[in-house]
Amino acid sequence: MRVLGIDPGLTRCGVGVVDGLPGRPGKLVGYFVVRTDTGDDIAQRLLHLDRGLTDLVAEHRPDAVAVERVFAQHNVRTVMGTAQASGIALLAGARAGVPVQTYTPSEVKAAVTGSGTAGKAQVTSMVTRLLQLDAPPRPADAADALALAICHIWRGGTRAKIQAAALAAARRSPR
């Protein structure tokens, strides 16, 4: 399966595309950063982000999109822009008709490093090793987006199967 991970951000939004199967080393397809100009007004920045993400989804035709969940308690100054960017990211997947899943930062860290409290350097190091890259992906937003894609391949496949089974069971049982 091909997964497109998005680490939402208004100034820099990381995108990482990985092909893989649960339990196997994934294969890097590519990573990208969509940047918006801090001097532009917010509506134009979101429009630019929407176009960039929509183009990347159309180009790579992923089987799933994985987006990092944003929390209100972190970085209060930038969190509103990040939340708005995450809305655009979720929309980009949904508009393309691709299943979209969100993951918390600790789910992503745990998936690639084994620890939910791992630092950024450790995540980057593991992404580099797991995808057998010659050099660490830069900037860190791109590494985080690749980690999200790996996380979905390893965890999301299972979760999607559980959800599908639960849905099928609910449909079979009378209400």
Q: Which residues contact a copy of itself by CB under 8 A?
A: 41-44, 46-47, 50, 67, 70-73, 76, 79-80, 83-88, 90-91, 93-95, 100, 102
Annotation says 59 is catalytic: no
* Residue 55, annotated as binding a ligand: no
Q: What is the nearest approach in angstroms of a copy of itself to the Cβ of residue 9?
A: 12
In order of 5, 34, 113, 154, 169, the CA distances from 106 in angstroms are 15, 24, 10, 14, 30
* Residue 68, annotated as binding a ligand: yes
Please report how many Cα atoms fall inside a 13 Å half-sphere around the Cα of residue 86, on the Cβ side.
Answer: 19
* Residue 134, annotated as binding a ligand: no
Residues 6+ apart with CB under 8 A from 27: 18, 19, 20, 131
Annotation says 41 is catalytic: no
Distance CA 109, CA 145 (A): 11
**Annotated catalytic residue within 50, 107, 141, 144:** 141
Catalytic residue positions, numbered: 7, 68, 141
User: Where is the binding site for Mg(2+), in residues?
Assistant: 7, 68, 141
